Amino acid sequence: MIGKRMLDEMNDQIKHETFSAYLYFAMAADFHAKGFDGMAEWMKVQAQEELGHALRFFHHIEERGGRIELQAIDKPQIEWESPLAAYEAALKHEEFITSRINDLVSVAREENDNAAGIMLQWFVSEQVEEEASVGKVLDMLKLIGESGHGLLMADRELGQRVAGPLTTGEEAAEAAA
Ligand SMILES: [Fe+2]
Ligand SMILES: [Fe+2]
């Protein structure tokens, strides 16, 4: 059974991951409103991944006999002054999530919760990838600067991103068993 301290932290993390989805949906809406349909698609895929992250915590709590306690989700910012500003905000948010995951890893260690420790390792690697993928877009946008043509090309390229299935981690664990 999951301990109280880890349970509280994971319930909290469900909120953070769901807020991440909300933030990226807000960016998608803002991009769409400004004609950046490719970036809007990219953000929708990103938001779906975040819902998958929330589900991973959800299922981990369920499997370990804990009680899910959903919390209120803040209203996200709804407008950014440029694609660059939005992706900068996305990177900042991912850095915050990385620090949250690191906190959870510390709690797992302190509470001797090996099950959570193993489950969280996936998130440690995932956050490295998340920061890298947002960072890559950011580098591209910095190179482009104010060029309308460049932004159009970037928008087309980013629109190629496709969503994978909404996985919770259980499928992968079952396939490996
Ligand atoms: Fe996430
Ligand atoms: Fe993320």
Mean pLDDT per segment of 10 residues, for the chain of length 177 residues? Answer: 97 98 98 98 98 98 98 98 98 98 98 98 98 97 93 95 74 55
pLDDT score recorded for residue 164:
79
**Which residue blocks in the chain are alpha helix, DSSP H?**
4-33, 37-63, 83-110, 114-144, 148-158, 170-176
Ligand in nearest proximity to the CA of 13: 1
The bound ligand whose nearest atom lies closest to the alpha carbon of 50 is 1
Cα separation, 6 vs 107, whole angstroms: 7
Amino acid at 148: G
Which residue in the block uniquely carries the two structure tokens 């420790």?
117
**Residue 171 has what pLDDT?**
61
Near ion ligand 2, which residues have CB within 5 Å? 130
State the ligand closest to the CA atom of 132.
2
CA of 149 to the centre of ligand 1 (A): 32
Residue 3: the pLDDT is 97
| Orientation angle between helical segments 114-144 and 148-158, nearest 10 degrees | 150
Cα gap 87→93, rounded to integer Å: 10
pLDDT of residue 173: 56
CA of 4 to the centre of ligand 1 (A): 22
The whole-angstrom separation of Cα 74 and Cα 22 is 9
pLDDT recorded at residue 165: 74
pTM of the predicted model, to two decimals?
A: 0.92
User: What's the confidence (pLDDT) of residue 170?
Assistant: 62
Q: What ligand has the least distance to the C-alpha of 23?
A: 2
Which of the ligands is closest to the CA of residue 51? Answer: 1
**CA–centroid distance, residue 82 to ligand 1 (Å):** 23
Q: What is the DSSP letter of 77?
A: P
User: Looking at residue 158, what is its pLDDT?
Assistant: 96
Q: What's the confidence (pLDDT) of residue 57?
A: 98
* pLDDT value, residue 168: 64
Question: Which ligand is closest to the CA of 16, given by its number?
Answer: 1
Q: How many Cβ atoms are within 10 Å of 5's Cβ, its own excluded?
A: 13
Q: How far is the CA of 41 from the centre of ligand 2 (A)?
A: 16
